[in-house]
């Protein structure tokens, strides 16, 4: 296996071709694996953040539902009082 190293032609450099050692291949494999692991960690953190945000919104909705239920009960009580007078 060979590694191609291409330098910027603006620097008057030339292409270099050298054999790839097993150590170099292992380092490249580990570097690639680390990149994938980092991407997965970032994706998991983003998903955990979304789950936490969803939980917060669910608690806000539950609080609003409880307040609405209290208001509905108060309206029903006031209606029954009005109907009792009429």
pLDDT band at 3 (very low <50, low <70, confident <90, very high): low
Q: Is the pLDDT of residue 32 over 90?
A: no
**Distance, CA of 76 to chain centre:** 44
pLDDT score at 27 = 86
pLDDT score at 57 = 93
CA 72 to CA 69: how far, in whole Å? 5
Chain mean pLDDT for the chain: 82
Q: Quick check: 28 and 3 in contact, CB under 8 A?
A: no
pLDDT score at 18 = 58
pLDDT band at 11 (very low <50, low <70, confident <90, very high): low
CA 22 to CA 29: how far, in whole Å? 10
Say how many C-beta atoms besides its own lie within 10 A of residue 64's C-beta: 10
């Amino acid at each position: 296996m060979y590694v191609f190293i291409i330098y910027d032609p603006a620097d008057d450099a030339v292409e270099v071709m050298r054999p790839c050692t097993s150590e170099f291949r292992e380092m490249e494999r580990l570097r690639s694996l680390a990149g994938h692991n980092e991407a997965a960690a970032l994706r998991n953190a983003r998903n955990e953040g979304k789950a936490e945000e969803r939980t917060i919104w669910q608690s806000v909705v539950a609080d609003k539902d409880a307040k609405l239920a209290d208001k509905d009960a108060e309206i029903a009580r006031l209606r029954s009082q009005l109907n009792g007078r009429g």
